[in-house]
């Protein structure tokens, strides 16, 4: 199975700062069709996860442009510029290239 | 507007079979490229993908659950189902269903989740 390792486990931030989360895969996430199915989700306290980014860098409908996904192969990053209160919660990366699909362990974005 | 809602028994005993239903609206599971997935989350822990079913009835399972899973759909009633046999306390979790599409692989719309407790 593909293992997704997220770092850091917790990211203390000050509102208005930038935050960066890394997701490293145990193998390349490039599909045989050329696409890379790496997604990012945010789970706010007491809520269901919500999709932020799909296929590495595409923002889902309604997601602010302060969320930027990047990376390739097996190394991916989610950057959040100018963190706002509604950005706090647990971020998960997820790969849909290989079966079984797998989630990273999560990164908690919290206030300093 | 896409919505999904899970329903389940709430509590069941070890060795029983867990039956979950996902009732959705705003899309059809007969549409090319459309799918529904099930994901679970034990309290305070991370997310685990369980299974996907696609518009063409193709099914994929997480092998870590050792053939205990069965996913199915009722296209005419806009429902998807998940059965987990021989449950034990490790299956206690919140279970989510979510829409997925073949073009993105992502779960773009999620239900609110249903809590399931396995206890004797």
How many other CB atoms are there within 10 angstroms of residue A86's CB atom? Answer: 9
The reply to whether residue A106 touches residue B46, judged by beta carbons under 8 angstroms, is yes
The number of C-beta contacts closer than 8 angstroms across A and B is 68
**Residue A54 contacts B, CB cutoff 8 Å:** yes
Rounded Cα distance, B65 and B82, in Å: 13
pLDDT band at B94 (very low <50, low <70, confident <90, very high): very high
pLDDT in tens, B19-35: 999 999 999 999 999 99
pLDDT (mean) for B85-91: 97
Q: For residue B4, what is the nearest residue in chain A, using CA coordinates?
A: A48
pLDDT in tens, A13-48: 999 999 999 999 999 999 999 999 999 999 999 999
Q: Which of residues 10-29 of A touch B (CB under 8 A)?
A: none
DSSP secondary structure letter of residue A36? B
pLDDT in tens, A63-100: 999 999 999 999 999 999 999 999 999 999 999 999 99
Q: Note the pLDDT of residue A78.
A: 98
Q: Note the pLDDT of residue A100.
A: 95
CA atoms in the 13 A half-sphere facing the CB of A16:
0
**Mean pLDDT, chain B, as a whole number?**
97
**Residue A40 contacts B, CB cutoff 8 Å:** no
pLDDT (mean) for B78-90: 98
Best of A5, A9, A48 to disrupt the B interface (most B CBs within 10 Å) is A48
**Residue A48 contacts B, CB cutoff 8 Å:** yes
Is the pLDDT assigned to residue A11 strictly greater than 90? yes
pLDDT band at B66 (very low <50, low <70, confident <90, very high): confident
Rounded Cα distance, B12 and B15, in Å: 9
Of A60, A100, A105, which has the smallest distance from its Cβ to B49's Cβ?
A100
């Amino acid at each position: 199975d593909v293992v997704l390792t997220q770092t850091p486990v917790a990211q203390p931030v000050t509102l208005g700062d930038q935050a960066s989360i890394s997701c490293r895969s145990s193998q390349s996430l490039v599909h045989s069709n050329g696409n890379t199915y790496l997604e990012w989700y945010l789970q706010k306290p007491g809520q269901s996860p919500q999709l932020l980014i799909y296929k590495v860098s595409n923002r889902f409908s309604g997601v602010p442009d302060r969320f930027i996904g990047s990376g390739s192969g097996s190394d991916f990053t989610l950057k959040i510029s100018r963190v706002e209160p509604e950005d706090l919660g647990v971020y998960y990366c997820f790969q849909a290239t290989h079966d079984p699909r797998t989630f990273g362990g999560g990164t908690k974005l919290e206030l300093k | 507007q896409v919505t999904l809602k899970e329903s389940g028994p709430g509590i069941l005993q070890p060795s029983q079979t867990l039956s979950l239903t996902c009732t959705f609206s705003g899309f059809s599971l007969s549409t090319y490229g459309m799918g529904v997935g099930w994901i679970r989350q034990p309290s305070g822990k991370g997310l685990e993908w369980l299974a996907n079913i696609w518009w063409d009835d193709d099914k994929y399972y997480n092998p870590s659950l050792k053939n205990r899973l069965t996913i199915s759909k009722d296209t005419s009633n806009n429902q998807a189902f998940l059965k987990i046999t021989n449950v034990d306390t490790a299956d206690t979790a919140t279970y989510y269903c979510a829409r997925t599409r073949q073009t993105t692989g992502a779960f773009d719309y999620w239900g609110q989740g249903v809590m399931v407790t396995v206890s004797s």
